[in-house]
Amino acid sequence: MVINNVKLDVITWNIFVDALCEEDRILEAQDTVETMIQQGVEPDIVMYNSLIDGYCLQGDMGKARKIFNSITDKGCALDVVGYNIMVNGYCKAKRIDEAMELFNEMARERLIPDVVTYNTLIGSMSQVGRLAVAQELFEEMSGNGLVPNMTTYSALYLGICKYGHIHEALGIFHVMQNTGLEPDIVHYNILIYGLCRVGKLEVARKLFCALTVKGLYPTVYTYSIMIKGLCKEKISNELFRKMEVDGCVPNICCYNVMIQGSLENKDILRAAQILREMVNKGFSADVSTASMVLDLLCSDSMDESFWALLKKL
């Protein structure tokens, strides 16, 4: 590409290629690189990383790996950014062992993993229940002089909460606070979620009520977590109505959680009322809600008032 007889340099080409990759136009990006080469401009590591990221975003790890493996043959040196892109791609594709292989390869290439590398692996290991490995990576990260950030801590105890190890999660939460990092609403959401999962609803409720004191405000997700937990105690409707008063408008998730909770508690009338309200607001039932409603319609114990309300939808 030549504009006003000015030949574009590799930095300008990089901007074009990166923009195409971010817009999921990877084939056009590849063609652009070929055009650039024909004009005598050689790709640099930044451009190769953009192409790798483009293929990773599409989930095509085969093509991403092919470009990654060819970089040194083309006279460029692999860098931490390229490894991070590949590690993240493999993690998103649930190919975590291959991500770990690349992580171990970095040492052989005398490249030092950064916070991004560790955060990606810690989060992925936590999500699939490989909590011991996640904690080992966390300790290794600190031992290598890297300072865990907010993302590191949330990635670690999201998995720990998911698998019911709430006491460990609380311990990490306190460690985080002792380092001077102030937890935000995302971290509190994770803890509240974990507490509700293991049935510690009173502790979850106290943490929820303390948010405003800490200068934080519940999000729709925070309310959804609490509503789902409190459905078991049949007091979720009060919180559901309070959230809108507090300026947090219920979304489709909140409505579905309320309907499911009401049906589980055999509160058919409330379920029908909320279902009608949800539909009037333009929301739809999710698969779980639709399945529960269908089961009720097919049962012998269906309430006539429920059927009457459904017919008005």
pLDDT at residue 231, as a whole number: 79
pLDDT at residue 286, as a whole number: 87
The larger pLDDT score, comparing residue 130 to residue 35, is at 130
**Average pLDDT value for residue range 277-291:** 87
For the chain, give the number of residues.
313
What's this model's pTM, rounded to 2 decimal places?
Answer: 0.82
**CA nearest 223: which of 215, 213, 231?**
231
Give long-range contacts, CB 8 A cutoff, 24+ apart: 239-243. 243/218
Give the integer Cα–Cα distance in Å for 47 and 29. Answer: 10
**Average pLDDT value for residue range 258-281:** 85
How many other C-beta atoms are found inside a 10 Å radius of the C-beta of residue 186?
Answer: 16
Which residue is associated with the tokens 């190890």? 165
Which residue is associated with the tokens 């114990």? 301
Is residue 15 very low, low, confident or very high in pLDDT (cuts 50, 70, 90)? confident
Record the tokens describing residue 126, joined without a space.
């936590």
Quick check: 3 pLDDT over 60? Answer: no
pLDDT at residue 94, as a whole number: 94
Record the tokens describing residue 304, joined without a space.
């006539």
Contact 151, 119 (CB under 8 A): yes
Give the distance, in angstroms, between the CA of residue 217 and the centroid of all CA atoms in the same chain.
20
Give the integer Cα–Cα distance in Å for 111 and 114. Answer: 9
Is residue 309 very low, low, confident or very high in pLDDT (cuts 50, 70, 90)? low
SS3 7: strand
CA torsion, points 18, 22, 23, 26, in degrees to nearest 10? 70
Say which DSSP state 3 is in.
E
Quick check: 2 pLDDT over 60? Answer: no
Which residue is associated with the tokens 């998911």? 162
Dump pLDDT digits (tens) for 177-203. Answer: 888 898 999 999 999 999 998 989 999
Give the integer Cα–Cα distance in Å for 230 and 240. Answer: 10
Record the tokens describing residue 224, joined without a space.
């959804």
Give the integer Cα–Cα distance in Å for 295 and 281. Answer: 24
Is residue 234 very low, low, confident or very high in pLDDT (cuts 50, 70, 90)? low
Contact 251, 219 (CB under 8 A): no
**Average pLDDT value for residue range 270-283:** 86
Quick check: 137 pLDDT over 90? Answer: yes
pLDDT at residue 75, as a whole number: 84
- pLDDT above 90: percentage of residues in the chain: 43
Quick check: 154 pLDDT over 80? Answer: yes
Is residue 70 very low, low, confident or very high in pLDDT (cuts 50, 70, 90)? very high
Contact 141, 148 (CB under 8 A): yes
Q: Containing H/E element for 2?
A: strand 2-3
